Structure 1
Amino acid sequence: MDNTSKPMFWRDARMPYVELRKVGDGRKVCYAPHSHTQWSLGAIIEGHCTYLYRNDQFKVGAGTLVMMNPNWVHACNPIDNQPWGYLMLYVDTQWLTDLRYSAGLLDTPCWQDISTAIVPDANWYAGYCQMVECLLDAKRECQEKETVVVDYLTALMCELADKAAQPLSPVPDRLQALAAYLKHYDGAEVSLETLCERSGYSPGHLIRSFKQYFGFTPHAYLINSRIQRGQQELKRGTSIADTALNMGFADQPHFQRTFKRLLAATPKQYRESLLNQKKNTAGGQ
Structure 2
Amino acid sequence: MSTAIPVENINYWRHPSLSGIELSQAEFTHFSFDKHVHLDYHLGVVTQGAQQFVNKGSSYQLGQHSLSTLNPDETHDGQSRDADGYRVKVMSIPVEYMNEVSQELGLKEHFFSAPMVDDPMLYQYFIQLHELLIQGQCSALAGESHLLNFIHLLLERYPSGVSSCITKPNQPQGLSKLQVSLVKQRIHDEPWHNTQLETLANEVSLSKFQFLRQFKQATGMTPHAYLKRVRLELAKKSLSHGALVADVAQQFGFFDQSHLNKAFKQAFLLSPVQFQRRML
Q: 1:53 to 1:261 in 2, by over 3 A?
A: farther
Does 1:248 pair with 2:253?
yes
- Structure 2 counterparts to residues 99-178 of structure 1, below 5 A: 99-106=101-108, 111-161=109-159, 163-166=160-163, 168=165, 171=176, 174-178=179-183
Aligned residue for 2:78, secondary structure, equals strand
Q: Distance in 1 between matches of 2:242 and 2:140?
A: 22
**Sequence identity of aligned pairs in percent?**
22
- Counterpart for residue 279 of structure 1: none
How far apart are residue 4 of structure 1 and its match? 6.8
Q: 1:192 to 1:62 in 2, by over 3 A?
A: same
- Greater Cα offset, 265-274 or 178-187: 178-187
- Greater Cα offset, 231-240 or 40-49: 231-240
- Counterpart for residue 219 of structure 1: 224
Supply the AA of the counterpart residue of 1:166: S
Q: What is the number of equivalent residue pairs in this alignment?
A: 268
How far apart are residue 55 of structure 1 and its match? 1.4
Aligned-residue CA RMSD in angstroms?
2.4
- Counterpart for residue 68 of structure 1: 70
Aligned residue for 1:33, secondary structure, equals strand
Aligned with residue 88 of structure 2, among 83, 86, 97: 86
Deviations 1:145-198 (CA, angstroms, capped at 9, x unpaired)? 11110111101110012x513353694655443322222335563332333344
Supply the AA of the counterpart residue of 2:24: R
Aligned with residue 11 of structure 1, among 11, 14, 23: 14
- Structure 2 counterparts to residues 264-279 of structure 1, below 5 A: 264-275=269-280
Asked whether the 8 Å contact 1:31–1:264 carries over to 2, the reply is: no
Q: Distance in 1 between matches of 2:115 and 2:204?
A: 33
Supply the AA of the counterpart residue of 2:11: M
Unaligned runs of 5+ in 2: 167-174
Q: Distance in 1 between matches of 2:276 and 2:260?
A: 14
How far apart are residue 46 of structure 1 and its match? 0.7
Unaligned runs of 5+ in 1: 276-285
Deviations 1:120-154 (CA, angstroms, capped at 9, x unpaired)? 22211111111112112333222111111011110
Deviations 1:248-277 (CA, angstroms, capped at 9, x unpaired)? 1112222122223333433223211011xx
TM-score (norm 1): 0.84
Supply the AA of the counterpart residue of 1:233: S
TM-score (norm 2): 0.86
